Structure 1
Amino acid sequence: MSEIRRPGSVAARVRLGRRRLLQGLAAFSMPFAGGPGKARAEPSVGGSEARPKEIRLAYQRGGILVIAQQQRVLEKVFQPTGVVATWKLFSYGSPALEAVNVGSMDFSSSGNTPAIFAQAAGFDFQYIAAQPAGDGSEGIVVLPTSGIDHVGGLKGKKVAVAKGTSSHYFLVAALAKVGLGYEDVSPVFLAPSDAPGALAGGDVSAWTVWDPYLALAEKNLNGRVIAALGPDIKSYNFLVVRRSFANAYPETVRDVLHQLRPIGNWAQSHRNEIARQLAEITGIELDVQRLAAERANYAITPVTDDIVEKQQALADLMFKLNLIPKAIRIRDAVWDWRE
């Protein structure tokens, strides 16, 4: 990996935007006006099952969990019963899953690929819900000066990507779509906080990433997306739970899902409202937040047989490419969400 030069002013704006985003999300305290409120069905809290003293949730800057955290949905339901919901912000799925594995978090969101890497590493978690990724919400971005206008132009080039993330998978899939192999590019494994500087400084030719980082690169770096999620390349995000937590408190897991599902459905039809509120809280420009919100999918579903098959095919591909150390069986890690 080449030494990363200090980013120019455009990359600094992306970095500043990211800092504001993380700080703002960590400080959420105001509810979204017009949230689903009473539309949520009542859970089974207070049933015969013993309840945990605390529910610990790892969330990221996008997706359904950040909305639930900001609206204090779980607090309103569980705190009257003595159960405390606590939240911790993570930059992406891999460290969040690590926290679940070591027992410091109970629930997390994850892209498709981090969950596969985690399962292959022996992490003891279960998939509890799926969330189809929105078209356009993940892609490969280049600068206008790169001279690259299609994925085939990446051959022999350095491409920034966060290792073991959903973007890692997207890079593989996008290359395969144009007849290239993973070995035809030189991946440079960078966290989302480091990649903008590398792209702006010329240390990499492209960056594969998800929203809102993709939207930030488009708006603040004048980036051009040469491939994105769509009809030909689909992806899923997931909600996961620590297996020992699910074994001890299955009703609590169902209650959490019972609250999250209507939040996701509400968010689907309130994208502008979400974008405006996030822009005010995080300091990220409204046009960036609106672009990310327009492309997002917030609705969650049970992990169906079809989704298991798609995730299994991805796991098999990761093993074939020697990106994970052993073959895994996805179904072994799927929790039964019976509604």
Structure 2
Amino acid sequence: MSLRSSLSRPIGAVAVVVVTALALAGCVSRDSDARSSAPPSTVDASNLSAVTLNVGDQKGGTQSLLEASGQLTGLPYRISFSTFTSGPPQVEAATAGRIDFAVTGNTPPIFGAAADARIKVVSAYANNASGDQVLVPASSPLRSVADLRGKRVAVAKGSSANGHILLQLKKAGLSPADVQLIYLQPADALTAFTAGQVDAWAIWDPYTAIAQRQNGARTLTTAEGVANGYGFGIASQQALADPAKNTALADLVGRIAKASAWAKTNPAEWAAKYSAAVKIDPAAGAVAQTRSLRPAIALDSTVIGSEQQLYDAFVDAKQIPRGKPFSDYVDTRYADTVTEATR
């Protein structure tokens, strides 16, 4: 199987949506719902049979995890999954009301906040960020981030990789103006990377693992110790305001937390099922899931403060405008659900 086909093959979601990457800060509506409103009342689970949650997903993400762990069994509502290339289009879709929920990396919610997107961050997931890497071809003379000055770096705009490369440049005393950031979604970035049209590629697992296994890509640096590695569940404000969908979302957030815990305690079984679901080399799948598991964690002040720091770094680099504090886009209504699910 070619590297390109490994990365671009759909994973069999219930409904697959191909979304063009958008410069989110310029595309979402600023007609936001009131952020101070109390959560709506919930409904009994027996009344959820008519509810369909539209869930945004990425390659090997939420659907694969829920299926592998058995957490899609006995749902009192329906889920329609849509596959996206990265987090920013998911935020755009949630703002437009096309999806109700999605799990993203640490940076898409920041771009959403800068654009006053109609979303809330409702759950958090931890990772050491070692699977988020800057790759170079095996024969590249580049040996450090400082060597990227003047070079072409492929990255998906507004993605976790965008946050990672920004922080790496800052650490090396560089700014985005010191390199040529080429904004490409993963499949297009792969083509450019393998054709030598870019000098480096900031990317995340499973793309990182596949490129290393099948293309001989070399790691220039990882995000470990530089980026916070968090993932976030985002929900549309429309869904959160609906009692029935609010109830279903609480259940889904709990199921994702249980599924993440299952994956952590059953790494070999999860890696095998993950690899089969996304149709990649099992060895690459095992590597990706060894370093890219994201167990659910509390959405607390430490997490929120770390995200505000990343937000500020983008503002300081003049990559996004300064908007409301990141905390304005956080809703902790499902905190008890996550606590119960991870006991």
**What's the TM-score, normalizing by structure 2?**
0.83
Structure 1 stretches lacking a partner, 5+ long: 1-11, 29-43
The answer on 1:89 being equivalent to 2:87 is no
In structure 2, the partner of 1:285 is 281
In structure 2, the partner of 1:177 is 171
The answer on 1:109 being equivalent to 2:108 is no
Q: Is the 8 A contact 2:69 2:259 kept in 1?
A: no
1:216 positional shift:
1.3
In structure 1, the partner of 2:295 is 299
Change (3 A) 1:338 1:48: farther
Q: How many residues align?
A: 307
> After superposition, where does 1:48-197 map in structure 2 within 5 Å?
53-69=51-67, 73-74=71-72, 76-78=74-76, 83-197=77-191
In structure 2, the partner of 1:18 is 7
Change (3 A) 1:285 1:239: same
| Residue type of the alignment partner of 1:231 | G
| Residue type of the alignment partner of 1:174 | Q
Q: Is the 8 A contact 1:267 1:298 kept in 2?
A: no
Equivalent position SS for 1:15: helix
For residues 69-90 of structure 1, the C-alpha deviation after alignment (integer angstroms, 9 at most, x for no partner) is: 5556245131xxxx32211111
For residues 49-104 of structure 1, the C-alpha deviation after alignment (integer angstroms, 9 at most, x for no partner) is: 888621111111244453115556245131xxxx3221111121111121111111
Distance 2:205 2:284 in 1: 9
| Residue type of the alignment partner of 1:15 | R
For residues 202-247 of structure 1, the C-alpha deviation after alignment (integer angstroms, 9 at most, x for no partner) is: 2110000000111111111101111112134322110011112112
In structure 2, the partner of 1:274 is 270
Distance 1:270 1:117 in 2: 34
In structure 2, the partner of 1:314 is 310
Distance 1:266 1:48 in 2: 26
Aligned residue among 167, 190, 195 for 1:201: 195
Aligned residue among 214, 218, 223 for 1:220: 214
Q: Is the 8 A contact 1:128 1:334 kept in 2?
A: yes
Distance 1:90 1:212 in 2: 14
Distance 1:132 1:313 in 2: 17
Mean Cα deviation higher: 246-255 or 90-99: 246-255
**What's the TM-score, normalizing by structure 1?**
0.84
Structure 2 stretches lacking a partner, 5+ long: 16-41, 337-343
Distance 2:73 2:227 in 1: 37
| Residue type of the alignment partner of 1:314 | L
Distance 2:56 2:87 in 1: 9
Equivalent position SS for 2:296: coil
Root-mean-square deviation (CA, aligned residues, Å) is 2.3
